[in-house]
Amino acid sequence: MSTAYEQTGRAHQKQRTRMALVAAARDLVALGGRPPTVGEAAEAASVSRTTAYRYFPTQRSLLLAAHPEVVATSMLPADVGDDPEERVAAAVRGFMAMVVDSEPQQRTMLRLSLEAGTDSRQLPLRQGRAIGWFIEALEPLSDHLGADGVRRLAIAVRAVSGIESLVWLTDIAGLTREQAVELTVWSAVALVRRATQEA
Amino acid sequence: MSTAYEQTGRAHQKQRTRMALVAAARDLVALGGRPPTVGEAAEAASVSRTTAYRYFPTQRSLLLAAHPEVVATSMLPADVGDDPEERVAAAVRGFMAMVVDSEPQQRTMLRLSLEAGTDSRQLPLRQGRAIGWFIEALEPLSDHLGADGVRRLAIAVRAVSGIESLVWLTDIAGLTREQAVELTVWSAVALVRRATQEA
DNA sequence: GAGTACGTGGGACATAAGTCCCATAAAGAA
DNA sequence: TTCTTTATGGGACTTATGTCCCACGTACTC
């Protein structure tokens, strides 16, 4: 049933229209608090609302497409050493800095990922590359823990950081952003320490 | 500006109406995936939609009021010992069991808490008593860490557990619910271990 | 018992998501 | 040029949120 609308005939024109919509939505999201309506994004892209719905069947899908991609391929500074705890601390700090920096968008994405409901089709949402960063930071431990152990630990590290932790630590626990980041780093290091001591 | 609508004159009648609305909303939430519309909740409560909006100015506020209260005052089994790690593991396990048990409601609450936007922060949302449970579990450490240290550690433990972690570990990392709970317990114990070793 | 305050119901209205149908104009082919 | 394909635009329609106004009837008061 689902050849994507853009993948058939007159591809260039459609790609331009799609890009215009995504760019407009991205600008509007970055601009302010409330996510833009489909109509607003369409108007900003000089496209009719009907056409916008042809490309993105839901507001959700449009906002997901408008989510800025993070380009960094590594979170580690160049001069980081071989100490796993130090490397993870740096990676978590970098990751959290990115999260804090784009907090409104991150919150929007988290909200969208929760609106999926349990039933419907779920769009490739929020697949983070954070795990990759943490696996890289944990590379010196791969002999000790093995690939599976490293991956498991990276998952655990990601679970204590990210926008979800930031939201809870600031909104509910009442921490400042700086305190939240520091607590996250402290927790991540604790995980690494336990993993190394057990191996 | 805001004396709650129910706090003036004819209080009993209003309380009954309010309770009927909350009960109806609660039942509908527990029933199935999609949160009920205000109209549905009003109809189920045999009340007009207009009246429903008089009591709860937004769907959000109605759903928040319908959030089932957790009655447990402790997450610790009666025969738990004095070992902090064991106590925290039990508390986290109990907490996560509760979260898994009411996962749809927890997800709805998390989503609602994110819809607040940056402009208007109202409604006391999602104040958890998890911290209290974890503080209780950490009580044997209060000499070592002090009250502030215990609270800080309890916050850290809460940050690695709860619905936010469950959502990420299952939806994104692809873990089963059981794996997610075990990883959470493992992480919580790691935090306790680091805290005790540092004190 | 009469008068008034107030909780409630009904309906209209605005905005937004999402769907559907039909008209239009431009691209590509004959 | 002429014909056909097709991306787009316009507008109607449905459902839901949230607001507003007015009428009705019951509860409380004098």
Each of the 199 residues of chain B gets a pLDDT tens digit; together they read 334 676 665 678 888 999 999 999 999 988 867 889 999 999 999 999 999 999 999 999 999 898 877 777 788 888 888 999 999 999 999 999 999 998 878 888 888 777 764 433 344 555 678 999 999 999 999 999 999 999 999 999 999 999 999 999 998 899 999 999 999 999 999 999 999 998 7
State residue B95 phi and psi, 5-degree precision: -60, -45
CB-nearest partner of B190 from A110, A128, A190: A190
End-to-end CA distance of chain A: 50
User: Is any Cβ of chain A less than 8 angstroms from the Cβ of B155?
Assistant: yes
Whether residue B194 lies within 8 A of chain A, CB to CB, comes out as yes
Which DSSP state fits A169? Answer: I
- The answer for B 101-120 residues in CB contact with A (under 8 A) is 104, 107, 110-111, 113-115, 117-119
Full-model pTM: 0.83
Contacts of A171 in chain B (CB under 8 A): 113, 125-126
Partner B contacted by A184 (CB < 8 A): yes
In this structure, which amino acid lies at residue A197? Q
Q: How many angstroms away from the CA of B114 is the closest CA of chain A?
A: 6
- Determine whether the distance from the CB of B44 to the nearest atom of strand C is below 7 Å: no
* Tokens linked to B152: 């800080």
Mean pLDDT of A92-105: 91
Separation in Å, CA of A22 to nearest CA in chain B: 22
> Are B42 and B49 spatial neighbours (Cβ–Cβ below 8 Å)?
yes
Cβ-based contacts (< 7 Å) between B 155-194 and strand D: none
Instruction: Calculate helix-pair angle for B177-198, B84-101, nearest 10 degrees.
Output: 150
The answer to whether the CB atoms of B34 and A131 lie below 8 A apart is: no
CB B131 within 8 A of CB A149: no
- Cβ of A51 near strand D (under 7 Å)? The reply is yes
Distance B34 CA to D15 C1' (A): 15
Give me the pLDDT at residue A1, please.
Answer: 39
